[in-house]
Amino acid sequence: MAFSSPNGPSPSFQRIEAVRADWNAQTPPATGWTSVTLPDDWSLRWPGFDGVVWYRLTWEQADATVPVGLMMDYLNMAGTVSLNGVQLNRDLSLTEPLTRAWNTPRYWQAASPLLKAGQNVLFIRVSGLAAYQPGLGPVKLGMPADISAQYTYEYWLRHDLQIFSLAVSVTLGCFFLALWMLRRREAEFGWFGLMSLTWCLYASNQIKASTWPFGSTDAWQAAVSIMFLLYSACFTMFVLRSGQRRYRRLEFGIWGMVVAGAIAMCLSPHDRMQETRALLALIPVMTYIASGLLFLYFAWRHRGIDQLILAACIAATLVFCIHDLLVFVKLLDSNIYYSAFASQIQTVSMALVLGWRFVANLSRIERFNDELHVTVETAKKELAQTLKRQHELEVVNVRLGERLNLAHDLHDGLGGTLVSSIATLEHAPESIPSSRFLTILKELRDDLRIIIDTASSYQLAETSLAEMLAPLRHRLGVLFESQNIVCRWQLSGIEDSHLPTAQSLDIMRILQEGLTNVLKHSRASSAHVELRDDASELVLTIRDNGVGFGLPLQESKAGTGMKSMQLRTSRLGGTFEMQRIDGETVLRIALPHRHT
């Protein structure tokens, strides 16, 4: 590449010559010079020559006061540059391990007294190895401004851009590897990360100035080739995984090739290096291109946006790859490798892919959230309906239970009395006084009344004895009032008594019977009712200051009532006591609690 200067024709080299020398030559030999053209690869002329080649460039400088710019694109592999006997540059190591200056452009501005009027000679001493395209790249001479501009450009291309793409690759590699480690499922991320890192190592060749950590150029180049093998294999794996395919045997084969290639590289002798390298470059490149095409095929099949983006990037990479391959096999006259640019494109595309995937996932999550919401709402509604139905059923159930209870109450309370009354009448003597008959009927009515009083105070919850007692107590209270009898009630502990209904009815019947006796027969002026329930027993005490019972009980008017009370008490398993204490009639009934 040469920029034409606006100020007249630029000076150019009149003679460019080269001659071989040995490793330790300090001065150029006098004879043996041949004419060469730049860029020059001496392995074409002197195959298999590892050593030092002197290049001599001469030009005529008319005016020494006008400074000139000198630019050397590169020399392969390391060397020194001197102008008119003055050393301009010396690479660090001129013998193995050679300094790797094959990608380093250099620029000098020469002015007098360095620059001489008339003939100027530029000596470039190059140390190189035949396997690695040794020689000298283009050397330019011209106006400092032009040449300097060209140099800046070359430097940027060969150095800055490479560093930039290396940095990008390292970042990408680390990022994707980290991603993969956190999410092992995404195998393609892992392979892409590995791919980037191996590419990093491979591309470091472009900027590395020494063969560290290896001891020789051969070793270094071997490592680079192996790295390229790995890179290509990783790329193949990446393509396969991203297409969700597993070809066990193919993968096995590829990795087997990698191992074989690595071993071959390590074992290859120095003079076979070039062929081995070529092989180890061609085969991976073939697989690389094949994998790339496979990826394009996958993308075309699935048309996922992310895959299409990647496909575009990979297509570009393939183009660069082919170019680099041609450069490598010297079909193209250049030594610039364009693959580095691919990494820039890769970054952008991978970033786009990731972004697209991330957004797609978010949308999926949002949609999932909505679906979940809808599902939950539906489930809630169904649950509410089911609960409501259940509740209604329960209410119906409870009502049925209540009705059943009432039937039981009637049976327990009324039924017993009815049956026993029928029995009494059936087995009674022929003539029964109608008063006896009336008493029986009244007894039945009293039982019914108590059941009615109890039933009318039924609630959904269990009723305690205290609540059941209320109607009876009120009615008796009114009656006592009308007779001007003072009646005191003392209740303790029965708010929490929940007895079976049959027992409650019996107790109330006893109470009613006892108090009716007081009302009708005792001619008392005050009465006292005590109902006490503790943990062990329920005690009912009725006291009155009336005349009491003197005569044999059976014949008194209260006889049947008393018998009925005794009967009921014994049915409840309790004790019945009737005494006369201190002018008071005391009726005491104790009912021990039956433990369930």
Partner 1 sequence: MQLRLHGILGILGYDDEALSFTASIADANALMARQPFAMVLVDVGLPDGNGIDLIRALHAVDAALPILVISTWSTEQTIVSALQAGATGYMLKERDDFEIGLSIRSVLRGGAPIDPFVAKHILQLIDTGTGKTQQHAPPTLRSPLSKREIEILELVSKGLANLEISDLLSLSRSTVECHIKNIYKKLAVNSRTQAIFEARAHGLLP
Q: Tell me the residue ranges of DSSP E strands in 185-289.
A: none
Choose between 196 and 454: whose C-beta lies nearer to partner 1: 454
Residue number with CB closer to partner 1 (332 or 479): 479
Least distance (Å) from partner 1 to the CB of residue 476?
A: 8
Query: Of 203, 212, 112, which is closest to residue 161 (Cα–Cα)?
Result: 203
User: By C-beta, is 345 or 452 nearer to partner 1?
Assistant: 452
From the number of C-beta atoms within 10 Å of its C-beta (0-12, 13-18, 19+), residue 186 rates as middle
Considering the complex, state which of residue 45 and residue 475 has its C-beta at the smaller distance from partner 1: 475
Tokens coding 489: 């009630």
How many CB atoms neighbour CB 337 within 10 A?
20
Rg (CA), the chain: 59
What's the CA gap between 266 and 260, in Å, rounded?
Answer: 10
Separation between Cα atoms, residue 295 and residue 318, nearest integer Å: 11
Interface ranges with partner 1 (CB under 8 A) = 445, 449, 452-453, 456-457, 466, 469-482, 486, 489
Nearest distance, CB of residue 372 and partner 1, angstroms: 39
Residue 487 CB, shortest distance to partner 1, in Å, is 8
Bond preceding residue 134 cis, omega within 30 of 0: no
The secondary structure of the chain in percent helix, strand, coil, rounded to multiples of 5, reads: 55, 15, 25
Task: Report the C-alpha gap between 593 and 200 in whole angstroms.
Answer: 93
Query: Which residue, 270 or 475, has its beta carbon nearer to partner 1?
Result: 475
Instruction: Assign 3-class secondary structure to 149-164.
Output: HHHHHHHHHHHHHHHH
Which residue lies nearer to partner 1 by CB, 478 or 581? 478
CB of residue 553 to partner 1, shortest distance in Å? 25
Residue 9: exposure state from Cβ atoms within 10 A (0-12, 13-18, ≥19)? exposed
In the bound state with partner 1, the residue whose beta carbon lies nearer, of 19 and 487, is 487
Q: Which is nearer to partner 1, 179 or 448 (CB)?
A: 448
Give the span between the Cα atoms of 63 and 4, in whole angstroms: 19
